[in-house]
Amino acid sequence: MRPEPRPLDSPTSAERGRPGPAGPLGGIPWAVGFLAAWTLLVVSLMQDRQQWLTALNLVTTHGGLFVLLNARRLGHRRLARASQIAPMVTLVLSAVALVAFR
């Protein structure tokens, strides 16, 4: 049996609401959060304090990147948008916790 061809007027993936490429500033929160997580880890290792907190920050940042990539691949717009904010939130929470546990 042959599968039926797709009708020409059927919606494409862009018309169905699948996320397209991020805007020109879409990757900035990820870049800042990703680089800051590694920088925070290096600084905490050099000062020999609170390595567990910065390692947790690094794990959550990389976990958020995994969620972001899968959400974009599967077409979950809201989840992709929420996971773009995740590295900045974990960075701020880690910085506050580092100050509080001083």
Q: Per residue in 28-53, pLDDT tens?
A: 777 777 788 888 888 888 888 778 88
SS3 content of the chain, % helix, strand, coil (to 5): 65, 0, 35
Pair of tokens at residue 61: 């940042």
Quote the percentage of the chain above a pLDDT of 70: 77
Q: Judge whether 61 lies within some domain.
A: yes
Q: Judge whether 59 lies within some domain.
A: yes
Q: Judge whether 12 lies within some domain.
A: no
pTM, rounded to two decimals: 0.59
> Would you place residue 18 in the very low, low, confident or very high pLDDT band (cuts 50, 70, 90)?
very low
Q: Judge whether 37 lies within some domain.
A: no
Q: Judge whether 83 lies within some domain.
A: yes
Number of domains in the chain: 1
Q: Are 101 and 53 in contact (CB under 8 A)?
A: yes
What is the model's pLDDT at position 8? 63
Higher-confidence position of 24 and 41: 41
Give the mean pLDDT of the chain: 75
Q: Provide the domain limits for residue 65.
A: 48-100
